[in-house]
Structure 1
């Protein structure tokens, strides 16, 4: 039996990975939605199981036929609060009107349900969208929690890992837990959720659950060189840093967002493990930190 999956934001980084994973399943008929479908790679665009619709996030006339007939719609938008709230609401309304039974919200993050509004500003739209979905009678919300993206946490944006200097930086005592999943692993789990009609509500997947010092050790095993550890301060010092950086220039969200994300992850408030839904899809192997670093170096 064929399942029709709509993927809004197919040309984005995560959308492309998700499309790649979905198209490995011969039962999937994939519909992609994007402002500029020509940005999709030729190898994906040429798939006989993929059709593409051109349209913007606020183009109701294009969205309505895109979602019509879908068994599930996935949103992989990434952008400002207007896009993440109003853009998703427009998609959800279209799904409700068309009788689409499930909508996978653009989450892929830590457990924001445990956060108060404003604690991580970029998660507030997710709370709004989740509440909005709960008002609908037909379309059911699906929310995929994966912790942090390994790709992002080890990128220069977070400044945890400096591969040139061989230095791993951390705050706290080093034994605080991070829950994290790679982009590729998260895409595989989301693709499995998409074709599982029983997957509704919050779905929890983790590639690896490890402390800062364990992550550094995993990097050492993967690279063959033990990282130098550099402690940057306590949790209280991190809290002071993040609030002072925000208060100095509130509009510059990227200056303080990593600090807020780090604080609310390693203080344990937004963790959702160790219980997960990984076992629902045993065909997918969780990618550990060591696995991820080894693959990234290939």
Structure 2
């Protein structure tokens, strides 16, 4: 039987990729949005059009509901088999909105729920060291108490961030920063690979509570070596301090900031992510990249080569 999947946060970057991945399978997809006429939702419907005039639209629909409207959410979830959440934000989203979505899913008889985790292993991090992970852990407790089958996708960091949002690589100075150890294993997966995995999970009724994948596992030292080979110029690792010092800096930054609830990634939160990665607390220990067959995984080298416009051996 065809599975009906509702995607929350479908018009965001990762959510859009998840919708695309689901549509490559025999699935009916509902896009949950606050406004059914939003340009982003319209683009998804147009993109899903397929070769025929209504080929894609028959498998993709847009439903409108606000997270503070329980009745509307229940209506939007009627007949849904799996909820996939790809929402992004802080407490009002990760805890409050997802809890509202979960309660409506239970009342609508939805059997499975995939929360918006898509991260390193937040379950093992020290309390107080990563705000966003603590919010995920808080919602996970609520999810585990609900009468639905839950599956979290853990993938380390997004590889895509290495060329921009995550300032670990200083391309102009030919340096790769590290904290504490240049040989700490770091898990990376591209957003497209995470989306593909999430689609598999959504369509797998026997998926376990946690699915761990890593498109690549590298160290700061191996990243520097890769960049050296790609560019033909020596990249060096550069010690940036200890994870303890970085954690203290993050705490100070948080106290001095306005802590805008609409900003999930202020500078101090980025510091907290590096603490999680380089301390080893968030490292994945049960990676199964072959869970859904022999897939192609985009490596760190692939992403860096594309960014640099080179493909040296």
Answer whether TM exceeds 0.5 for this pair. Answer: yes
| CA deviation string 1:52-104 (max 9, x = no partner) | 11233333233212211111110111012111111001111111112111100
CA contact (8 A) 2:211 2:288 kept: yes
Report which stretch shifted further, 230-239 or 109-118: 230-239
Q: Distance in 2 between matches of 1:250 and 1:216?
A: 35
The residue that corresponds to 2:83 in the other structure is 73
Change (3 A) 1:104 1:124: same
Aligned to 1:94: 104
Contact 1:179 1:209 in 2 (8 A): yes
Matches of 2:71 and 2:19, distance apart in 1: 23
Q: How does 1:137-286 map to 2 (within 5 A)?
A: 137=147, 139-155=148-164, 157-223=165-231, 225-249=233-257, 251=259, 254-273=266-285, 275-286=286-297
CA drift at 1:218: 2.7
Structure 2 residue matching 1:257: 3-state secondary structure: helix
Preserved CA contact (<8 Å) 1:73 1:103: yes
Report the Cα distance in structure 2 between the residues aligned to 1:221 and 1:190, rounded to whole angstroms. Answer: 33
RMSD between aligned residues: 2.1
Q: In structure 2, what is the equivalent of residue 16 of structure 1?
A: 16
Superposition map of 1:89-128 within 5 A: 89-128=99-138
SS in 2 for 1:15: helix
Q: What is the aligned length?
A: 294
Quick one: distance in 1 between partners of 2:62 and 2:228? 43
**In structure 2, what is the Cα distance between the partners aligned to 1:105 and 1:170?**
30
TM-score of the superposition, structure 2-length normalised?
0.86
Q: Please give the alpha-carbon distance, in whole angstroms, between the structure 2 residues aligned to 1:268 and 1:14.
A: 25
TM-score for both structures, normalised by structure 1: 0.90
Distance 2:84 2:29 in 1: 11
Deviation at 1:19, TM superposition (A): 0.8
What is the rounded CA distance, in whole Å, between the counterparts of 2:297 and 2:168 in structure 1?
Answer: 22
Deviates more, 1:167-176 or 1:235-244: 235-244
CA distance in 2, matches of 1:62, 1:222: 53
The residue that corresponds to 1:6 in the other structure is: 6
What is the rounded CA distance, in whole Å, between the counterparts of 1:205 and 1:211 in structure 2?
17
SS at match of 1:278: coil
Give, in whole Å, the separation in 1 of the partners of 2:29 and 2:91.
Answer: 27
Asked if structure 2 preserves the Cα contact closer than 8 Å seen for 1:4 and 1:70, the reply is yes
* Structure 1 residue ranges (4+ consecutive) displaced by more than 6 angstroms after TM superposition: none
Q: State the SS of the aligned residue for 2:5.
A: strand
In 1, the alpha carbon distance for the partners of 2:23 and 2:120 equals 27
After superposition, give the CA deviation of every residue in 1:92-122 in whole Å (9 maximum; x if it has no partner): 1111112111100000011111124322111
Q: Which SS does the other structure have where 1:69 is aligned?
A: coil
Contact 2:64–2:76 (CA under 8 A) maintained in structure 1: no
Q: Which moved more, 1:220-229 or 1:284-293?
A: 220-229
Query: What is the DSSP-based 3-state SS (H/G/I as helix, E as strand, rest coil) of the residue aligned with 1:280?
Result: coil
Change (3 A) 1:173 1:113: closer
Where does the alignment leave 5 or more consecutive residues of structure 1 unmatched?
Answer: none
**For residues 63 and 21 of structure 2, what CA distance do their matches in structure 1 show?**
19
**Alpha-carbon separation, structure 2, partners of 1:193 and 1:221:** 36
Q: C-alpha separation between the residues in 2 aligned to 1:248 and 1:32?
A: 38
